[in-house]
Structure 1
Amino acid sequence: MIELKEQLDFDTYIRGFRKHLHHLFQEKYDFNALSLQRDLPAEFLEDILNKQPLAVAIPTLYGGRGVNVKECLSVLSAASYESLALSLMFGINIALFLEPLAKYGDAQVQEHVFRQFLEKNAMGGLMITEKAYGSDALNMKTAYQQVAESYHIKGEKHWQGLSGAADFWLVTARKFAANGDLSRDIDFFVTENAKPEQTIPMNHRYQNLGLYAIPYGINEIDILVPENQKLTPESTGIKLMLDTLHRSRLQFPGMGMGFLKRLLDESIKHCQNRLIAAVPLSQNDAVKYQLARIQMAFTICSGMCAFSVNTSGIENDLASMSVEANSLKALVTDLMQESAQMSLQLSGANGYRLDHYAGRAVVDSRPFQIFEGSNEMLYTQIAEGIFKLMKKSKENNLLNFLKTYKNSNFSADYFKKQLDINIENSFSQRDLVTIGRMIARTLCFQFVLQMDGFNPELVEITRQHIAMDLAMFTGQLNSNNQANPVLEYEDQADWSKFVD
């Protein structure tokens, strides 16, 4: 058993950790120069991990801080204020490795792995995605079969964050059935790169557009792991995967929180100091709109964090919480990208530099709208999930249903006109995406309202912007846009033939 050490109270720890990161990123190292390089220098990363930020996701039984969601989100937020890439590294470790291991792992394996994290600054990740299947995880081809008291796993994964850098992985695979087919269920296995028979090499590295600190690539899997390194689901492996992915999506706001606060701080500072005809840029009405828009994102993200703390602990089964998990992930990542674009615009030409915070923010936040489920897919699932519940309750009006739904039962009243939509007719997929966007905003505004005593001016700014968004989405639905692309489009489409 790991010898337990007395932990600092968390408020003291997180204040010290924020100061430490500020010192590393803005004083000890030239992070503007580092941001243009692939990977974090080993010394730099060691300086960060020596503060044991990942201990927040390790049970106290093994020397950690206890897998407290508030602490996990606070660490993610502290990291994303300085670097979104660093926060994503932490997010991968916390939500996609340490938390599922703490919930479903064998005790002996837990003790060994957690010791490596606490004593040797180890890192871990999750391997699900395959080239041909992407979000279609249920059809993955990585397979395993039992060999004596071990499992032989063979296949290929790609776009796994920390490829070639993580010391441990959770690898997903399907079992070879007796007839040679692959089982429909999915299983999870802990692997350890330090052991030759479990090593997973990165055979090709991708030149990812942003998030330079994180290596991505193609991983060839042909390994042998002992029986106790297989996670034990409470029911099925598919539910284990849903529980894990939903918990991760519910904790995305932790990564968004510090990122949005930094964008807001940088944007306000610039607009107050930048003078146009002796008047601060912040006095321009269009600029006021943009700053308020970023404040809306900050406020919604705050409400999301509060909801996640009360919901996403490993003691809870999140397999069925798709509406809320998808709402948080899709909306916060859309707001992160939108806020980054606005911050860049407010920064003028300087914002377009890759070594400027806003420039990096635009590029680094963009993939958040894609990985762990593209946002269009998640918004579709939100709408379909709510429609299924409406059908079950024999309610055809979206507003009437949301007024009874537990996570929108008082926020829906703020947007009566926009949400008064009947669903008696079927909707196209593009309209489902739009309705999913509307539902996500309604739910997340309720999370803001539930923060009793939160800054009322920020709440009112958020209400006005959500009302505006919902009105815009209602207009999209009413426009009845059915335009489809013309794939053979070049016929009669050369402009030069239509002028003299």
Structure 2
Amino acid sequence: MNRNDNDLPEFIDRFKQALKKVFYEQHDINQLSLERGLPPHIWEGIMDTVPLAVAVPKEYGGRGCVVKECLSLLAAASYESLPLSLTFGINIALFLEPVAKYANDEVKGPIFRDFLEKQCMGGLMITEPDFGSDALNMKTFYQEIDGKYVVKGRKHWQGLTGQATYWLVAARKALENGELARDVDFFITDNELPHQHIKVESLYSNLGLYMIPYGLNTVDVTVPKNQQLKPESTGIKMMLDILHRSRMQFPGMGMGFIKRMLDEAQFHCENRIVGTGNLLKLDAVQHQLSRIQTAYTICSAMCYRSSHISGIGLNVAAEGLEANSMKALITDLMQESAQLCLQVSGANGYKISHIAGRGIVDSRPFQIFEGSNEMLYTQIAEIIAKQMKRQKEANLFNFLSQFKQTERAAPHFKKELNFVIGDNITQRKMIDLGKIIAKLISAQYVLDIRDKGFNKELTVNSLHNTRLDIAHLVSNFSLDTRATLVKEYKENSEWSGMF
């Protein structure tokens, strides 16, 4: 199924038609979304279009791992179903692309053939019950025994638990002194083989994303040496390359989802009559819909940027600033768009069977997994603060106006950014600083697509709303007061005793 460079629209259209058939003509997607998992015949109807061919190299019969194609597929899926898009995102960014880039050539062929011909799926196992974002302290380990690798440990919250055939399992080498090596290695496992089967201990009752099974897994497998991924330098840098590339593909999942929220909200407001006019006559509603349009514009700009900088031919291990900015900001915008769509939809939106109500629940974990947004915003701020200190520049505008990722956007926000960030910043203010930086980076993406011919009105409104956001964050940043936890809060805090 080698791709034709000009047939992407046709490929995506076939995929969309398949979704229309299974979700609307044969079944009701609103009811399917309330059930755990999808029936096999529905998966078959979707996978018959071979959507994951976008992440298989040409030499193995795929479409070539082109970022634009991967993001286009994710967007088409998320317009109808965010869980479906995440399913493809897991397969593409957390399995197929790492295998294409880092696996031994002798194991690639059978794996890619299974994806193209047998509708197989794959996922990534990093997170452990006692070590979530602290991946470098994972306890899953491996040893070489009789020329093979034995991998043991426990993993949880892996999307597609019990459903994926193939897994990439992260582990640390067991040393002779009983300690575990600092570096991380990855191993391909095949659940169809007895010695490589990963046991599912339990499935979680995840809130939302019902289509995707999550759970607790026990890893006790033996794999041949050629199923170990081969890093370009260290395993940690390989892991960062994989995770950063994945975060740069979040805009693909956000694209269709935000467009759906916008279309649903605008349609409702145009057709909902209040008094002598529709909801769009209300200024506050106009503002709310402009916020969703701003999210749509920023997401479009992120997709354009990601298509140029996140291909598997590039190493993005050192691109944490842009990867974290994309992931954190777009997932915040996804949640905001769903909340706004529900708000203008009124009581009908407050149903799990309604696209907005379901959208709130399904988009919420995106702000948590693959690095919680608070952690990512903090990392963004730390990157900038360190560089400012290195250059001995205390003024935020002065630095950002000369920084590559923000130099075009900074002059548009000089009034808001012209302040000294100071020393010994609290973590909560570091988070605010990270949000400011992420919004400024995205504003530069918007300026870039404006120059390529993107809708001028949308870009103007996007920059206006971004200015409001940055001004709000800066005002918070400049306040000296802060509330802290009162541990003994029950003392003198019972209102009924005040009489």
TM-score by length of 2: 0.98
2:149–2:224: 8 Å Cα contact kept in structure 1?
yes
Does residue 342 (structure 1) correspond to residue 340 (structure 2)? The answer is yes
Paired with 1:13 and 1:138, the residues of 2 have a C-alpha distance of: 40
- 1:298 alignment partner AA: Y
Paired with 1:395 and 1:24, the residues of 2 have a C-alpha distance of: 57
Does residue 183 (structure 1) correspond to residue 203 (structure 2)? The answer is no
Paired with 1:81 and 1:218, the residues of 2 have a C-alpha distance of: 30
Aligned to 1:468: 468
Paired with 1:149 and 1:29, the residues of 2 have a C-alpha distance of: 50
1:6–1:373 distance in 2 versus 1, CA, 3 Å: closer
Paired with 1:169 and 1:480, the residues of 2 have a C-alpha distance of: 48
The match for 1:123 among 121, 124, 127 is: 121
How much does 1:20 deviate?
A: 2.2
- 1:456 alignment partner AA: K
Q: 1:447-458 to 2 correspondence within 5 Å?
A: 447-451=445-449, 452-458=452-458
Paired with 2:395 and 2:20, the residues of 1 have a C-alpha distance of: 50
2:3–2:62: 8 Å Cα contact kept in structure 1?
no
Aligned to 1:389: 387
Aligned to 2:133: 135
- 1:126 alignment partner AA: L
**What is the CA deviation profile of residues 258-287 of structure 1, one whole-angstrom value per residue up to 9, with x for unaligned ones?**
000000001000000000113111111110
Q: 1:14-413 to 2 correspondence within 5 Å?
A: 14-413=12-411
SS of residue in 1 equivalent to 2:211? coil
Which sits farther off after the overlay, 189-198 or 421-430?
Answer: 421-430
- 1:270 alignment partner AA: H
Q: 5+ unaligned residues in a row in structure 1: which ranges? A: none
SS of residue in 1 equivalent to 2:491? coil
How much does 1:22 deviate?
A: 2.3
Q: 1:457-496 to 2 correspondence within 5 Å?
A: 457-496=457-496
Paired with 1:374 and 1:463, the residues of 2 have a C-alpha distance of: 26
Aligned length: 496
Which sits farther off after the overlay, 164-173 or 400-409?
Answer: 400-409
Paired with 1:277 and 1:23, the residues of 2 have a C-alpha distance of: 39
Aligned to 1:442: 440
Q: How big is the alpha-carbon RMSD for the aligned residues of Structure 1 and Structure 2?
A: 1.0
Paired with 1:37 and 1:231, the residues of 2 have a C-alpha distance of: 36
**What is the CA deviation profile of residues 226-247 of structure 1, one whole-angstrom value per residue up to 9, with x for unaligned ones?**
0000000000000000000000
**What is the CA deviation profile of residues 305-324 of structure 1, one whole-angstrom value per residue up to 9, with x for unaligned ones?**
00000000001110110110
- 1:294 alignment partner AA: I
SS of residue in 2 equivalent to 1:425? coil
How much does 1:24 deviate?
A: 2.1
Identity between Structure 1 and Structure 2 (%) = 55
Paired with 2:421 and 2:336, the residues of 1 have a C-alpha distance of: 30
2:3–2:58: 8 Å Cα contact kept in structure 1?
no
**What is the CA deviation profile of residues 21-74 of structure 1, one whole-angstrom value per residue up to 9, with x for unaligned ones?**
223222221111111100011111111111011000000010000000000000
Paired with 1:206 and 1:412, the residues of 2 have a C-alpha distance of: 45
Which sits farther off after the overlay, 63-72 or 417-426?
Answer: 417-426
- 1:98 alignment partner AA: L
Paired with 2:475 and 2:291, the residues of 1 have a C-alpha distance of: 20
- 1:136 alignment partner AA: D
- 1:471 alignment partner AA: A
How much does 1:377 deviate?
A: 0.3
How much does 1:423 deviate?
A: 3.0
Paired with 1:150 and 1:258, the residues of 2 have a C-alpha distance of: 44
SS of residue in 1 equivalent to 2:195? helix
How much does 1:180 deviate?
A: 1.1
Paired with 1:24 and 1:460, the residues of 2 have a C-alpha distance of: 39
Paired with 2:13 and 2:440, the residues of 1 have a C-alpha distance of: 33
Which sits farther off after the overlay, 25-34 or 89-98?
Answer: 25-34
- 1:497 alignment partner AA: G
TM-score by length of 1: 0.98
